[in-house]
Amino acid sequence: MAPKKGSKKAVAAPAPKKADPMFPARPRSKGIGGAIRPRGRDLSRFVKWPRYIRIQRQRAVLYQRLKVPPSINQFTKAIGKNEAMTVFTLLNKYRPETTAAKKQRVKEAAAAKASGAAAPERAAHQVKYGLKHVTTLIEEKKAELVLIACDVDPVELVMWVPALCRKMGIPFLIVKDKARLGALVHQKTAAICALTGVNKEDAAQLSLLKNLALEKFNNNPELIRKWGGGIMGLKTQAKLVKRAKAMAEEEAKKKASLL
């Protein structure tokens, strides 16, 4: 019999879906603060680091893994914090004049010359900087003490300077870092700086620093000959230890069989 007009056909309710115990549903909460990873888990390997950080870290690992020749390895042996403080305290007294100070001095000198008065003199001793300039001072044996930054990139720019200093008998120190040397001479960075002289009251201090440089860098045979790097990763070290143990056991078995 046909249903009456306007009447709705009864629809059976769907049976409730049973949860699968093997694969429980874990719906994610995509709102703010939802689906957070558990605390205490190191997520650094999931981070996409900037390119310059990745290159820094890769370079550091390569310096550990590869065998680094002595001429490059010596730049990892910078002077300590206390020694560096003594060096920079002395050099701060002989910072070169800024561009504004030089302009003012030239203006005053011109005014003094016009009036016939004595012109203001430039400071007798100042820190010299610039790779070409300092190289010339070393070759002419005018430099008293040379400071080389440990983190110059590429290292080939200053790699030969220690050898030149040793040949010319000029004391040199490797210091941290190029930004600190740059701040000393009103620049962003500086690869190398030099002192050509100091005032009488600082002569004893300079003499002590020169002796320190000769002892730690110029006349240090270990620094000249020691290779760096060659440190394998933890996995490789564990693998080598396991291999050595297996070989030792094999040798012991062979000896036991011979007896």
How many CB atoms are located within 10 Å of the residue 249 CB?
10
The pLDDT tens digits of the residues spanning 78-109 come to 999 999 999 999 999 999 988 888 888 888 88
pLDDT (0 to 100) of residue 121: 75
Predicted confidence band of residue 50 (pLDDT cuts 50, 70, 90): very high
Q: Are 190 and 149 in contact (CB under 8 A)?
A: yes
Paired tokens of 5? 């007009």
Residue 37: pLDDT above 70? Answer: no
Domain layout of the chain by residue ranges: 67-99+121-228
What is the rounded CA–CA span in Å between residue 9 and residue 79? 92
Predicted confidence band of residue 34 (pLDDT cuts 50, 70, 90): low
Q: What is the mean pLDDT of residues 129-134?
A: 94
Reference 96, options 69, 70, 68, 133; nearest CA is: 133
| 43-47, 89-93, 136-140, 221-225: segment of lowest average pLDDT | 43-47
The set of residues, in sequence order, having a beta carbon less than 8 Å from that of 139 and lying 6+ positions away, is 164, 168
Question: Residue 201 — left, alpha, or beta (φ > 0 → left; ψ -120 to 50 → alpha)?
Answer: alpha
The set of residues, in sequence order, having a beta carbon less than 8 Å from that of 131 and lying 6+ positions away, is 157, 158, 191, 192
SS (H, E, C) 112-148: HHHHCCCCCCCCCCCEEECHHHHHHHHHCCCCCEEEE
What is the rounded CA–CA span in Å between residue 100 and residue 82? 33
pLDDT (0 to 100) of residue 80: 92
Instruction: Say whether pTM exceeds 0.85.
Output: no
Helix, strand, coil shares, percent, the chain, to 5: 50, 10, 40
Give 234-240's long-range contacts (Cβ < 8 A, gap of 24+).
none
Predicted confidence band of residue 2 (pLDDT cuts 50, 70, 90): low
What is the rounded CA–CA span in Å between residue 4 and residue 2? 6
Residue 213: pLDDT above 90? Answer: yes
Residue 242: pLDDT above 80? Answer: yes
CATH architecture of 67-99+121-228: 2-Layer Sandwich (3.30)
What percent of the chain clears pLDDT 70, i.e. is strictly above it? 92
What is the rounded CA–CA span in Å between residue 160 and residue 131? 11
Looking at the DSSP assignment, which residues form a beta bridge with residue 68?
228
